[in-house]
């Protein structure tokens, strides 16, 4: 028997292990060792950059539609704006959790494949809609996702990718993403925070001009305040 950890809030979730017939009490270690989310273009970011946090579900059409204009805006601002992507697999999208877990696995196996794989999920999203997969078992959806995802990550990683779906740690990472998003009060996707503050209109994509309207004043405010400081006589 696994040791039962009854300590306090760790006690969030009880599940039946399907392979064995005993009940495991899953102790979740929170906070996680690493801040949740995937940094876009990591390495090319000004530490003072304006931070956009996007909360996406890889099989949500509105998340999909919001990505091209956001990407365009990120290209426009370059290192002045950084993006951290958080995942919120929505419970009414049957394959959201598996797709989110695939992104975590991709990030672990080949970090630079994370965003390309997300774009691939967006491009072929219909394959993983509820109606499309209604007659499929969970196992066959996972197999489909593995086959779908490995070309982006590296074909030679196919068996590692498959094995990672049986590794409890990738499940925990995906749970942490869910918990992180929920703890920030996010209940729909896409949702955006800018420098820690929520933008209104959860669930509706912003267009490119919408992003410019939000970010332009912040970029110039930052620049102006630096100038003001330089011209202040002490």
Ligand X SMILES: *[C@@H]1O[C@H](CO)[C@@H](O)[C@H](O)[C@H]1NC(C)=O
Q: Does 160 bind ligand X (CB under 6 A)?
A: no
For ligand X, the binding residues in 98-127 under the rule CB under 6 A are 110, 112-113, 116
Q: Does 61 bind ligand X (CB under 6 A)?
A: no
- Give the one residue of 52, 152, 176, 215 binding ligand X; rule: CB under 6 A: 152
Could you report how far apart the first and last alpha carbons of the chain are, in Å?
Answer: 69
Q: Cβ contacts of residue 45 below 8 Å, gap of 6+?
A: 39, 79, 82
For ligand X, the binding residues in 13-52 under the rule CB under 6 A are none
Nearer to ligand X, 136 or 214 (CB): 136
- Give the one residue of 7, 135, 137, 232 binding ligand X; rule: CB under 6 A: 135
CB of 196 to ligand X, least distance (A): 30
Q: Does 134 bind ligand X (CB under 6 A)?
A: yes
CB of 179 to ligand X, least distance (A): 28
Cross-strand partners of 16: 23
Integer Cα distance of 114 and 108 in angstroms: 9
Cross-strand partners of 38: 85
Determine the interface stretch with ligand X among 52-60, 73-81, 150-158, 169-177 (rule: CB under 6 A): 150-158
- Kindly list the distances between the CA atom of residue 30 and the CA atoms of 79, 166, 179, 192, in Å, as whole numbers in the listed order: 31, 21, 10, 23
CB of 216 to ligand X, least distance (A): 31
Note the residues at the interface with ligand X (CB under 6 A). Answer: 110, 112-113, 116, 132, 134-135, 152-154
């Amino acid at each position: 028997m696994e040791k039962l950890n009854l300590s306090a809030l760790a006690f969030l979730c009880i599940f039946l292990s399907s392979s064995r017939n005993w009940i495991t009490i899953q102790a979740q270690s929170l906070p996680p060792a690493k801040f949740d989310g995937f940094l876009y273009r990591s390495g090319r970011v000004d530490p003072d950059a304006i931070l956009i946090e996007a909360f996406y579900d890889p099989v949500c059409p509105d998340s999909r539609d919001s990505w091209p204009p956001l990407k365009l805006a990120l290209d426009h601002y370059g290192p002045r704006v950084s993006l951290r992507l958080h995942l919120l697999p929505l419970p009414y999208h049957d394959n959201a959790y598996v797709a989110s877990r695939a992104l975590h696995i991709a990030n672990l196996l080949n970090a630079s494949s994370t965003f390309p794989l997300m774009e691939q999920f967006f491009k072929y999203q219909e394959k993983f809609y509820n109606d499309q997969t209604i007659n499929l078992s969970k196992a066959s959806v996972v197999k489909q996702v593995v086959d779908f995802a490995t070309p982006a990550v590296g074909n030679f990683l196919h068996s590692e990718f498959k094995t990672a779906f049986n590794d409890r740690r990738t499940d925990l990472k995906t749970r942490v993403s869910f918990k992180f998003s929920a703890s920030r009060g996010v209940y729909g996707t896409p949702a955006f925070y800018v420098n820690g503050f929520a933008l209104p209109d959860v669930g509706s994509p912003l267009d490119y001009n919408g992003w410019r309207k939000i970010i332009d004043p912040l970029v110039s405010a930052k620049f102006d305040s630096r100038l003001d400081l330089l011209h202040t006589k002490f």
